[in-house]
């Protein structure tokens, strides 16, 4: 990256937000394997492990926070774990754990914000990850649907 900047390029950070209106589904959402449930404090170690595998140490995942020219591994880990803490502090009811027997196989988190211009809150997806062995089950969509259906 430094080489590109030496050639005159500048790295620019951008941000986009997509806003849509949605309605809660009425059909029960069931995990295809195991169960969906709210995050529990006992999940923290397994959540950290799956976060490391899917974000921090995953060469296939591209993010400025995993670029070791910019952020160390420890800084990257701290960033992703802080996302979890933020959701758990602000919207703990919107943090889902997917477990299969004793195995923690996935999570999905959403932040809820008050919107002063609307009677409806705004939501922002936090982080989501699924163990590779469970990715063929459409889990991320199901977890999101479960959270919105089960949260009032």
Q: What share of the chain is helix, strand, coil (3-state, %, to 5)?
A: 40, 20, 40
* DSSP conformational letter for 127: E
Backbone phi and psi for residue 132, each to the nearest 5 degrees, phi listed first: -55, -35
CB 137 within 8 A of CB 33: yes
Residue 107 β-bridge partners:
97, 129
pTM of the model: 0.82
Q: What average pLDDT is seen over the chain?
A: 89
Lowest mean pLDDT, pick from 17-21, 69-73, 125-129, 136-140: 17-21
Encode pLDDT of 41-73 as tens digits: 999 999 999 999 999 999 999 898 999 988 999
pLDDT at 28: 87
pLDDT at 35: 97
Residue 149 above 80 pLDDT? yes
Residue 9 above 80 pLDDT? no
Q: Residue written as tokens 């006992």?
A: 42
List, as one string, the DSSP characters of 23-58: ----S----SSSEEEE--GGGHHHHHHHHIIIIIT-
At residue 148 the predicted structure's pLDDT band, cuts being 50, 70 and 90, is confident
At residue 7 the predicted structure's pLDDT band, cuts being 50, 70 and 90, is confident
């Amino acid at each position: 990256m430094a080489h590109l900047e030496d050639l005159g390029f500048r790295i620019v950070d951008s941000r986009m937000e997509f806003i849509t209106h949605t309605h809660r589904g009425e059909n029960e959402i069931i995990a295809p394997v195991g169960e969906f449930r709210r995050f529990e404090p006992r999940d923290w170690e397994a959540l950290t492990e799956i976060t490391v595998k899917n974000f921090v140490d995953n060469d296939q995942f591209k993010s400025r926070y995993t670029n070791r020219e910019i952020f160390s591994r420890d800084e990257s880990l701290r960033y992703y774990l802080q996302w979890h803490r933020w959701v758990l502090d602000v919207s703990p009811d919107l943090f889902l754990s997917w477990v299969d027997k004793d195995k923690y196989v996935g999570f999905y988190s959403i932040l809820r914000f008050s919107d002063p211009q609307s009677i409806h809150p705004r939501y922002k997806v936090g982080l989501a990850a699924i163990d590779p062995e469970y990715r063929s089950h459409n889990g991320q969509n199901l977890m999101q649907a479960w959270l919105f259906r089960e949260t009032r």
